[in-house]
Amino acid sequence: AQSVAQPEDQVNVAEGNPLTVKCTYSVSGNPYLFWYVQYPNRGLQFLLKYITGDNLVKGSYGFEAEFNKSQTSFHLKKPSALVSDSALYFCAVRDSNNAGNMLTFGGGTRLMVKP
């Protein structure tokens, strides 16, 4: 079974400050980990992924995420937040043991960046 948890319903940060959106996961095999962003009335957009290799993954719009196997975490980060980053962020996982490409999503974290 594969599952993912996003412990924060909402994260508030001031523009220009660093941001972190937390995600932890559970899989039986190796994890494939993803972050997606959802803007109002828009579809989910892929941000970045970890499959293998370097634990620090860089993605779109200046976002990055760090895979930590011992803590089973994949937190999303950005050094300097923009107001336009305000959106709903979803972490997702796929167990490498699953033959299909089905992702399990977390409940989402709303990021609010204030000017």
Partner 1 sequence: GAGVSQTPSNKVTEKGKYVELRCDPISGHTALYWYRQSLGQGPEFLIYFQGTGAADDSGLPNDRFFAVRPEGSVSTLKIQRTERGDSAVYLCASSTGTTPGELFFGEGSRLTVL
Q: Tell me which residues touch partner 1 (CB under 8 A).
A: 6, 32, 34, 36, 41-46, 49, 51, 90, 92, 94, 99-108
CA distance 86 to 12: 9
Residue placing its CB nearer to partner 1 in the complex, 32 or 63: 32
Residue 87's Cα: distance from chain center in Å? 12
Residue placing its CB nearer to partner 1 in the complex, 36 or 67: 36
Q: Compute the least distance from the CB of residue 35 to partner 1, in Å.
A: 10
Q: Compute the least distance from the CB of residue 77 to partner 1, in Å.
A: 19
Q: Compute the least distance from the CB of residue 52 to partner 1, in Å.
A: 10
CA distance 4 to 27: 9
